[in-house]
Chain A
Amino acid sequence: MYRAMVGVAVLCGVLIVSVFEVTRPTIERNEARALRDAVLEVLPGARSSRAFVWSAGGDGFHAYRPDGEEGEMVYAGYDDAGVLVGVAVEAVGMGYQDRIRLIYGYSAVPERIVGLRVLESRETPGLGDRIEKDPAFLQNFVDLDVSLAPGGKDLAHPVEAVKHGQKDRPWQVDGITGATVSSDALASIVARSASKWLPRIRPQVADFSSKGDT
């Protein structure tokens, strides 16, 4: 009995490992392409991008090398002339049903979020999933004020969701009626990520520009 079960288990294991090895390069290529497309989409005008690693040691951002330092990454986007358009940051947080993973583009001059795309979410179809598709809602993230407070330690005004139609400040996100929880969640994911990353990116913007010749 045990011999039969172990035999079947070994066969299954070998099969899984071989399929994994065969499909891995394709899956990795797909993921890299999806990420690259997303970076270019949230940074309007960008034609190429480059990954940077945040060094936990405290000396800022380094261009990513496969054999180099591991760490949290951001993606700088450049236009045709190689001039920095902005930096794309990935963020994750809890939505209504499950985790929402998104990426947003940050432009340092002026300090704005210039684009956002939801990479992964399982919000309610027809209601919550409008955070992904609703053009009016995504318009919130085309010119969202994320200026840093004097001192540069945090945002001057935290990004916040307001009820639909009540947005009157440039740092507010006009929510979706019928998708309150999802749109609030999205805004708070952006708020949390922005107050963590932008104080790091803002003083280093020059580094992204000077390294961006590929």
Chain B
Amino acid sequence: MTEPSAPTGEDLWRGVWRDNPVFVQALGMCPVLAVSNTALNALAMGLATSFVLCMSNAVVSLLRSFIPRQVRIATYILIIATFVTVVDYLIRAVSLDLHRALGAFISLIVVNCLILGRAEAFASRHPVGPSILDGLGNGLGFSLALFALGAVREIVGSGRLFGVPLFHEGYQGWVVMILPSGGFFTLAAWLLVFNRVRAFRARAVPRAQEVPS
């Protein structure tokens, strides 16, 4: 642990791109596949998860010297569950329709391994500033990935984006894309694109400059 205690841009960007929770670490697949059927649902889920991630990272980091090692996981889950409940109430206050669309997956944010993973791997070992940035970065990366899936599935599956029709009236949606199996297809396609881009960029960097990651 030789990382600087001051928050750096690296803390933020690591989660967005290099260690993107979905496209690189393949974490939190359950909500990724389940609620990415429309762009709006995906974005709302991403934002809700980001909020929980930031807050739980902040609190875990603040309390990191008080929490005994033996019970840390239980305590983290308690903290995460609290913020999930908070998010649940907030979403209900903002829009009942959105709450309906996200359904049980709001409560299931508790068991998103991304959040517990960041609490255990990062927030419990770093000061508050970097921890919040780390949560923000990972949340942003997660939201981007969910939105990428949601947008593709909604456009192909129903010819709409955010509920606005994009094509002429006769467009027949490719229904399978809105069904759970469409989530797998779209995720696979995005993983292909993402890995291609990364492979291309890795080749473009001269060997001498390559940094071990």
10 A/B residue pairs, CB under 8 Å, sorted by A: A8-B78, A12-B78, A12-B79, A19-B89, A27-B89, A27-B92, A30-B93, A126-B157, A126-B176, A126-B178
- B86 on the interface (CB 8 Å rule)? yes
Q: Chain B contact residues (Cβ within 8 angstroms of A): what range?
A: 20 to 34
Which of B75, B82, B89, B178 has a CB less than 8 Å from the CB of A125?
Answer: B178
Q: Is the CB of A8 within 8 A of B89?
A: no
Per-position 1/0 for B33-65, Cβ under 8 A of A: 000010000000000000000000000000100
Q: Is the CB of A122 within 8 A of B68?
A: no
Q: For chain A, what secondary structure do more than half of its interface residues adopt (helix, strand, loop), or is it mixed?
A: helix
- The answer to whether A23 and B82 touch (CB under 8 A), given A8-B75, A125-B37, is no
| Shortest beta-carbon distance from A133 to chain B in Å | 11
Per-position 1/0 for B148-182, Cβ under 8 A of A: 00000000010000000000000001011011000
Most buried by A among B71, B89, B178: B89
**Which chain B residues border A12 with CB–CB below 8 Å?**
78-79, 81-82
Interfacial residues of chain A within 20-70, with CB under 8 A of chain B in the complex: 20, 23, 26-27, 30-31, 34
Q: Is the CB of B179 within 8 A of A124?
A: yes
- The answer to whether A15 and B82 touch (CB under 8 A), given A34-B96, A124-B179, A125-B178, is yes
A residues with a Cβ closer than 8 A to B are 1, 4-5, 7-9, 12, 15-16, 19-20, 23, 26-27, 30-31, 34, 120, 122, 124-127
Per-position 1/0 for B82-100, Cβ under 8 A of A: 1001100110110110001
Which of A23, A30, A126 has a CB less than 8 Å from the CB of B96?
Answer: A30
Q: Is the CB of A20 within 8 A of B68?
A: no
- B121 on the interface (CB 8 Å rule)? no
| Shortest beta-carbon distance from B169 to chain A in Å | 14
Q: Is the CB of B89 within 8 A of A23?
A: yes
Q: Is the CB of A125 within 8 A of B179?
A: yes
**Which chain B residues border A127 with CB–CB below 8 Å?**
175, 179
Q: Is the CB of B75 within 8 A of A30?
A: no
Q: For chain B, what secondary structure do more than half of its interface residues adopt (helix, strand, loop), or is it mixed?
A: helix
**Which chain A residues border B103 with CB–CB below 8 Å?**
122
- B67 on the interface (CB 8 Å rule)? yes
Complex Cα spacing A91 to B86, Å: 30
**Which chain A residues border B96 with CB–CB below 8 Å?**
30-31, 34
Q: Is the CB of A23 within 8 A of B93?
A: yes
Q: Is the CB of B178 within 8 A of A19?
A: no
- B209 on the interface (CB 8 Å rule)? no
Q: Is the CB of B63 within 8 A of A8?
A: yes
**Which chain B residues border A27 with CB–CB below 8 Å?**
89, 92-93
Complex Cα spacing A4 to B76, Å: 12
- B74 on the interface (CB 8 Å rule)? yes
Name the CB-closest residue of A to B72.
A4
- B66 on the interface (CB 8 Å rule)? yes
Q: Is the CB of A8 within 8 A of B90?
A: no
**Which chain A residues border B157 with CB–CB below 8 Å?**
126
| Shortest beta-carbon distance from B185 to chain A in Å | 14
Complex Cα spacing A40 to B165, Å: 27
**Which chain B residues border A31 with CB–CB below 8 Å?**
96
- B213 on the interface (CB 8 Å rule)? no
- The answer to whether A4 and B66 touch (CB under 8 A), given A20-B89, A27-B92, A126-B179, is yes
- The answer to whether A8 and B92 touch (CB under 8 A), given A122-B103, A124-B179, A125-B178, is no
- The answer to whether A30 and B92 touch (CB under 8 A), given A4-B67, A16-B85, A126-B157, is yes
